[in-house]
Amino acid sequence: MITALEQARVVADAVLYEGYLLYPYRASSSKNRVRWQFGILGPASAPAGIGEPPEMRAECLLAGEGGITVHVRFLQLQARQVQDAAGQPVQELRVDATSWLCWEEAVPREVTLGPLSAEELRAGQRLPIDVPGSEDVEVVRDSVGTVAGALRRSCRPLRAEVDISATEDGPVLRLRVVLRNVTEGPAQDRDAAIARSFLGAHAILEADGTPFVSLLEPPPEAAAPAARCENVRCWPVLASTDDELLLVSPIILYDHPEIAPESAGALFDSTEIDEILTLRVMTLTEEEKAEARATDPHAAAIIDRCDAMSPDDMQRLHGVLRNPHALSSPAMTEDWMSEDWEVPSWSDTGGKPWWDPSVDGAVSPETDAVVIAGVPVSRGSRVRVRPRRRADAQDLFFSGQEAKVAAVYADVDGGDHVAVVLTDDPAAELHEWYGRYLYFAPDELEPLSEVSEPGEEV
């Protein structure tokens, strides 16, 4: 049976390799010249504008006293130099039907620190991470066993420091973890800086019998301490059902993130959409596929997996309908998609199915209202936007901005959605004319005292 830590590593691996390869996965693709997009801790010796900052800092909350173990995870750059049979460097080596290109690979690393007791955490600890350099040669032979060339792989040594400390903050314990790249050596250009960087750096914090507290949805008694937590270049989220694992991610995630079961395998392309990327891989020419295979073993695996997909495999990528009430209604079973299952409705439909167009007459988005903090909000109302955990990264840019309500919509599950346009948006009138609104839940909006007259146009 897979452990909670192993399950967390599955998600963490997706974070680790995010942006590792960029579609179309070929070395000649221009965007593959700027890889390693997330979680880069560069060397402090790099001049400004050359490398990434050397540090990330995470602060999180523990519900009580207890020790922790820190699993620091990252990629170490590995340069692959191709050589011919005489040992001379070449850009490409072709042997029989296979070819290899010079390329920057990466080696996954995980360093475990601890366990550290509560007393050690209160005293504060500085722990070193030393990753040795390496160099090895893989001999390449042809089909009859003759040496045709070699692949020389090399890694530069890396060194980091991890500062770990804990202090009381009201009813909880505030934990601080700082990961700092202290690798020495010249880094006067980007290539040298990347070779001395921790790539995709993140951590999994493992508590000993004490749950972590969500920073996204803290309980009322921990709301103030959660607001005081300062996270720099990382985003801590709960990563296990018992909340004793915390993923310190370099990208924004929700609590308890999971890999979609429909995903057939990693595609490494930032914010990947499996079906679209798989279809595009299938459109590559045989020459382009051969180049992708020569780029990196991970790229070769993607090409081979896409080539081997059956129509049923593709259909699974197209989407899935899940019961949103599965956890809240014991009566819902795995056969909920049968014809006898009744979809919850936002109104009395008179026995008509919710998808019947005539049912839409039960609502009127331009005149309906929803009560927020005791204030009826409808078309023309002024509100302030306060995106919460359901918001995407784009919504967060609108936090604190004033908006006018364009309509109030209801969905078939009984939820309300408020359509707004931003007051200060120069294109507000155009968005309203096209009906291109921003949508927020009622608890993401704060009513303002100034309310438009009934029927006033937005």
Cα gap 236→215, rounded to integer Å: 8
Architecture of the domain delimited by 357-451: Roll (2.30)
Q: Which two tokens stand for residue 285?
A: 């020419």
Q: Are 239 and 204 in contact (CB under 8 A)?
A: yes
Q: Report pTM.
A: 0.72
| Bridge partners, 161 (sequence order) | 128, 180
Structural domain boundaries of the chain?
36-259, 357-451
Cα dihedral sign for 13, 15, 19, 22? positive
Rounded to an integer, the average pLDDT of 307-326 is 76
Helix (H) or strand (E) holding 74: strand 68-84
Region of poorest pLDDT, from 62-76, 100-114, 324-338: 324-338
Question: Which residues neighbour 64 within 8 Å (Cβ) at sequence distance 6 or greater?
Answer: 172, 173, 210
Q: Smallest Cα–Cα separation from 72: which of 2, 132, 175, 161?
A: 161
| Eight-state DSSP code of residue 14 | H
Helix (H) or strand (E) holding 178: strand 172-181
- Written as one letter, the residue type at 416 is D
Cα gap 171→221, rounded to integer Å: 7
For residues 329, 333, 337, 342, the Cα torsion angle rounded to the nearest 10 degrees is -40
What is the structure's pLDDT at 454? 44
Cα gap 365→377, rounded to integer Å: 12
Cα gap 248→38, rounded to integer Å: 13
More confident residue, 324 or 223: 223
For residue 48, what pLDDT band results from cuts at 50, 70 and 90?
A: confident
Cα gap 364→370, rounded to integer Å: 12
Q: Which two tokens stand for residue 340?
A: 């006898």
Q: Are 324 and 343 in contact (CB under 8 A)?
A: no
Cα gap 292→38, rounded to integer Å: 22
Q: Is the pLDDT of residue 52 over 80?
A: yes
Q: Is the pLDDT of residue 236 over 60?
A: yes
- Owner of token pair 């590792």: 20
What is the structure's pLDDT at 389? 61
